[in-house]
Amino acid sequence: MKEPSRSEEFHPDGQGQHYVLHLFVTGASLNSIRAIANLKHICEQYLPGQFDLEIIDVHQQKELAEREQLIALPLLIKRFPLPERRFIGDLSNTQKVLNGLGVTSLD
């Protein structure tokens, strides 16, 4: 994982930051497929080249899911930039996800 430089620590508009995202899903369920597609679209459109995305299937990595104390799925955890944030659902509300990530929409 890339360590942030001092200049990357805080950018109110989200520009210049590197995002570390973990998306927890349950196999190939409809909500999981939607969440993956929606998040990939958001990242490619609003954070091109500025993100690391790890998709974790809780059926295949149960110990990781237990350690995170998941309460609902799909679940997106924004690890960096701080503060850490959690988003539940299929991530279909793009503006809500962008606001939670701290990214100013350019649309």
Domain of 32: which CATH number? Answer: 3.40.30.10
Assess if residue 79 is contained within a domain: yes
Residue 92 within any structural domain of the chain = yes
Do the domain assignments include residue 3?
no
Distance CA 25, CA 67 (A): 15
Flag whether 47 is in a domain: yes
Structural domain that includes position 83: 18-101
The confidence score (pLDDT) of residue 106 equals 56
Total domains in the fold of the chain: 1
- In a domain, residue 43? The reply is yes
| pLDDT higher than threshold 60 for residue 107 | no
Q: Whole-number mean pLDDT of the chain?
A: 85
- Predicted pLDDT of residue 10: 38
3-state DSSP helix/strand/coil percent for the chain, to nearest 5? 30, 20, 45
